[in-house]
Amino acid sequence: MPTVSIRAHGVSVSRNQTLVDPNTGEIVKLTAFQPPERTETRGWTRNVARRNEQRLQQIDFAHVDGVPAFVTLTMPSKQMADVSAAMFHAWLKRWLQFMKRHGMLHYYWILEFQATGNPHLHVLVWLDHTPEPLDTYKALNSWVRMLNKAGVGARLQGQVWESIDVGAEITVDGERVPAHPERVLMYLAKHAARGVAHYQRQLSNMPADWQHRSGRVWGHDRGLPLCDVKSVEVDYPTFWRYRRLVRSWRLAEARCVGDARRRAGAVVAARRMLRWGDPSEAPYRGVSAWVPADVSRRLLAAAEGVRDAKD
């Protein structure tokens, strides 16, 4: 039977991933018998994008301490042939260590590539204080100085620090997004979900060294508060009703978007959400959506209620 996974900010459905342990009779996950194979990370794939989105949906924003800010770090494209993925990740590690020494409590980063082939790093940080202009200058300049010391001509003007003033808006990749950590990460997750089809995710758009082994393309600190995932197995009639209810909710939300252009795009996306290229995966993958946990639970209860009423 299908398994509905309800997270704090989203829901997804998968085929039945459990079986009965022949020795104990207990129901266990399939991965307990056959752990997933670990392979070399080669940029953004559909599975990588999906795992990133699902992790973002688990973040417990109510219990994330600190003052949030959105940071964008870039590198010059002309020198990318001399920069390996290992070098880049070493610089990222050192920059995060610098930020920890200067009051960073939590972080979540996502890596993508611009059309010119240079890495474009988005980092959502939470600080233990409200940063002064000098603090933000030091944070960005530490990245530039580190790269310059390695012979990479990064510029301070290419780095961006935006404080997240909840209730206002900030610019993310040229688009205005509601200034709230959840909405910023939601935007980036939807952006990342474009997977290999988007130019910023295409393997061919990466430098040669990165195409063989890019390393991780998203990550966060171990202390970032996460909500538990509630997994529920349902029968197929309930599953088909549930996916239609999720689509209806998404469509209703889309119609409430204030901006006309965004509303039109949101309505089209909601209407098409249950479609998927692979027919064998279409019934399950299409249900993946950013839906609050309380809404997901009510929709599931409604789907099950219809079944009980018919019984």
Q: Apex CA 193: angle with CA 262 and CA 296, to 5°? A: 75
Candidate from 63-67, 236-240, 277-281 with smallest mean pLDDT = 277-281
Crossing angle for the helix pair 133-149 and 85-101, nearest 10 degrees? 150
pLDDT at residue 196, as a whole number: 47
120 touches 111 (CB < 8 A): yes
The per-residue pLDDT for range 25-54, each reduced to its tens digit, is 665 655 555 554 445 566 777 778 888 889
pLDDT, residue 83, reads 81
The pLDDT of 103-125, averaged and rounded, is 84
Give the model's pLDDT for residue 195: 47
Q: Which of 111-120, 121-130, 190-199, 277-286 has the lowest mean pLDDT?
A: 190-199
Tell me the whole-structure pTM to 2 decimals.
0.82
Percent of the chain residues past pLDDT 90, beyond the cut: 36
Tell me the mean pLDDT in the region 76-92.
Answer: 82
Chain segment 143-201, per-residue pLDDT in tens: 999 999 988 888 899 899 988 876 677 776 666 767 777 777 776 666 555 544 554 55
State the average pLDDT for the chain.
81
